[in-house]
Amino acid sequence: MFSRILIANRGEIALRIIRACQELGIETVAIYSEADKDAQYLKMANEAICIGPASPLESYLNIPRIISAAEIADVEAIHPGYGFLAENDHFAEVCQDCGITFIGPSAESMRQLGDKVEARKIAQKARVPVVPGSDGPLANDGEAIKMANKIGYPVILKAAAGGGGRGMRVVHSDISMRSAFASAQAESEAAFNNGTLFMEKYVLDPRHVEVQVMSDKAGNVLHFYERDCSIQRRHQKLIEEAPCPILDDKMREELCKAAIKVVKQTDYVGAATVEFLLDKNKKFYFIEVNTRIQVEHPVTEMVTGHDLIKWQLKVASGQILDIKQKDIKLIGSAIECRINAEDPARDFAPCPGKITKYIQPGGLGVRVDTHVYQDWMISPHYDSMIAKLITLQNTREESIATMVRALKEFKIEPVKTTIPVCLNILTHNLYLKNKVDTSFIEQHMS
């Protein structure tokens, strides 16, 4: 196992990684920007190094500064968390060149699976169902029109390098294809420096279900079941749960085995999330792979009893996954609500500022993952997440009841938060009846 690692991230995930390291006896080096200098979690690390001003480009996204800190602090490995550099293959390569272990997949695996056109091909090769669509990149709008007529409208244009819904356009007819193609391409070019587009049949109101996978360096690949992340608003997840409440054991096994098959096509090491769409007939289609630990990993930890950050650290250091698939059991129902400093009344505009009152919920079945405490200043420079509130109970109904109780206990002032929105969703009869899809918020919450 490593004896000392650097955490190239901030906030709750930096704290989450520090905690896992402490339990494994690993020393931690935290890095921080000037905006985060007072953060309490920095005192829990063995060392904390200021790497620059608040602006992410000059701190958490600045590869030379992070590598310098890693060399000065003499660490063996870097954990990237999520966001920032977590899926940057160039960063993974620089770490490798500097003799530092990147806690995650190789730059090569990241490139393969991070390109959605490549990932689609890999899934097809593994005989995992993909949405009907183009076999490769679309050369131009003329080719897009031909392809759309072959597949049948509606179709969706997606960016090969995409993420967060950027460079995505749903297209309903030939007439709108040319402008949709041009704007999706421009958006993708601007966001990812890559205008490559591909096409899929548009699946109407799907559920978003993703499988947690972990691989070691010996080629063992295990799954930790699935999460249902259908409750999203403009591609920002608000509530996630495990397991997906509409899958039976047979479908679950099929889905999880499909996820493993995709990952096994590459020399993958570390945590991966394989994303699927689930249509109205409960048929699943592979869409993409995330090559990082995700924000919502705690719901999986709660229902499996496995610490995924510890597994990341273990497999990155060369330890094998010394457990059997059948020994990973799914117990109970976990839900996560993302508590963001956003004003629901102002179209979820970020609401940075100092938190003067902060009272966190507790009790049986409640977990709070946060770096926040009273008098913490929510910076306008970063993501607006204040905390992740997670519940675990034996059944979905009980988990919802615990979540409602915990959300009401949570007091955060004076910043506006997503707590009232989460409460509205969790008490909506369609949510209680499992009748949700990715359009739930647009359809029922506006």
Q: Summarize as ranges the residues that interact with ligand MV4 (CB under 6 A).
A: 131, 156, 165, 200-203, 206, 208, 232, 235, 277, 287-288, 438
- The rounded distance, in Å, linking the Cα atoms of 195 and 189 is 4
H or E stretch covering 124 = helix 116-125
Cβ neighbours, 10 Å, residue 175: 10
- The rounded distance, in Å, linking the Cα atoms of 100 and 94 is 9
Residue 290 or 317 having the CB closest to ligand MV4: 290
**Options 169, 292, 338, 367, the catalytic residue:** 292
Residue 206 or 298 having the CB closest to ligand MV4: 206
From the CB of 154, what's the least distance to ligand MV4, in Å?
9
Which residues have C-beta within 8 Å of that of residue 258, sequence separation ≥ 6?
A: 126, 128, 129, 211, 274, 276, 284, 286
Residue 70 or 287 having the CB closest to ligand MV4: 287
* DSSP 8-state class, residue 60: T
- Structure tokens given for 355: 């938190």
Q: E-strand spans in 349-421?
A: 349-350, 353-354, 357-359, 366-369, 377-378, 385-393, 411-413
Cβ neighbours, 10 Å, residue 146: 13
From the CB of 114, what's the least distance to ligand MV4, in Å?
13
From the CB of 34, what's the least distance to ligand MV4, in Å?
34
To the query of whether residue 65 is one of the catalytic residues in this protein, the response is no
Residue 137 or 353 having the CB closest to ligand MV4: 137
CA 69, chain centre distance (Å): 26
Residue 243 or 332 having the CB closest to ligand MV4: 243
From the CB of 288, what's the least distance to ligand MV4, in Å?
6
From the CB of 271, what's the least distance to ligand MV4, in Å?
18
- The rounded distance, in Å, linking the Cα atoms of 207 and 225 is 16
Which residues are catalytic, by number?
A: 292
